[in-house]
Amino acid sequence: MNWLRLMLVFIPLAFVAEFLLHNPLLIFGFSCLALIPLAGLLGEATEELAIHTGPQIGGLLNATLGNAAELIIAIVALSQGRIDLVKASLTGSIIGNLLLILGASLLLGGLRHGLQKFNIRTAGVSAAMMTLAIIGLLVPTLFELLREVQTNSLDVFDTTVDDPALAAFSLGVAGVLILMYVLSLVFSFTQPEYRMQAGHGHGDTGEAGSATPAHTPKWSIPVAGGVLAAATLGIVFLSEFLVGAVEPVAEEFGLSEVFIGIIIIPLVGNVAEHIVGVQAAAKNQMDLSLAISLGSSQQIALFVAPILVFIGVLLGQQMDLFFNAFEIVILFLAVLLANLISLDGESNWLEGAQLLAVYVIAALGFFFIT
């Protein structure tokens, strides 16, 4: 995907828009476009380091840095007190992976190859982990809604609350989710037959029918480390620009910040990875395609979201696991549908179309909610 390199031209344009033009629309647009290649470079550098360090350490690198771009954007937004935007970007990332990317992968792969098959045991483990993750996000939401019912202060859309009990509960749940994420990594390393083949590759997807990408190192360790550091620094600056422009852009177009967080921001941080997942399905590499879409969703739900709760404590921001009712319902339905489709070990283009249809319906709902 060398064409992504061409998009690096938007990096200086974003800086010009921020410091010289002071135009929120240009700042937002250029920052979004510049973050796409930087997220791709971040993932590629992680993959290169993983190849050099071997399967065990490489697996840990992919497990911790696979969604680094989204984590950085979320931390920047969290530091500015944009809690609703952070929560929306988390649910949007999971929904996008399970409905949009998995749906596009199944649709394109099914149209090209007909009935496609994948490892049912791996899919079963992933389905169970995603169900656990959604329970971890759903229960704190139900907890707070019931407390608001008791106090006659129910607002299913306002998730910015000052509730010490919710904060403590969220910290406990976050700790459990991170523990389960670590245990899932231990399980995948000790039970390779259940391992999701491929981390978060951003390179070629190898030969058709192969379960893992055929990839040899292109960069030395110093080069990969330098690219990783430079991309991370660039993402930090551009995230500052992006988050600062969200409110004026939302007002200009009559959008809610929730819509921007759920639909736009997750795409910016995940485009490179999403393209690889769809390409893998087009090459009939369904294990790799599912590893990317389901694996990324698991990492967001079991690692990124919980770790942000603890980071919120360090930043003095009450980041909790209380999501608005519409988000959590869509999230639950997305996981349910993805699980139903993935549990039989087979997929076809119609199932992909079904996932995409649900994504469009959800996007319309988020668009009309203010």
Q: What's the mean pLDDT in 327-346?
A: 87
Choose among 188, 185, 349: nearest CA to 278: 349
pLDDT tens readout for residues 91-135 = 999 998 899 989 999 999 999 988 888 888 888 888 888 889 899
pLDDT of 290 reads: 84
Model pTM score: 0.86
Percent pLDDT > 90 in the chain is 25
Measured CA to CA, the distance from residue 108 to residue 281 in angstroms comes to 7
pLDDT of 206 reads: 43
Span of 187-196, 199-208, 240-249 with lowest mean pLDDT: 199-208
Q: What's the mean pLDDT in 140-160?
A: 80
Give kind and range of the element (H or E) at residue 116: strand 116-117
Residue whose entry in the numeric block shows the structure tokens 């339905």: 333
Choose among 90, 140, 84: nearest CA to 297: 90
Q: How many CA atoms lie within 13 A of 208 on its CB side?
A: 8
pLDDT tens readout for residues 282-298 = 888 888 888 888 888 88
pLDDT of 176 reads: 95
Measured CA to CA, the distance from residue 367 to residue 364 in angstroms comes to 5
- What is the total count of domains within the chain? 1
pLDDT tens readout for residues 241-271 = 988 888 898 888 888 888 888 988 888 877 7
Which residue range forms the structural domain that includes residue 328?
Answer: 3-368
CB-based contact 285:211 (threshold 8 Å): yes
pLDDT tens readout for residues 36-74 = 888 888 877 877 777 777 655 665 666 566 678 888 889
Q: What's the mean pLDDT in 325-334?
A: 90
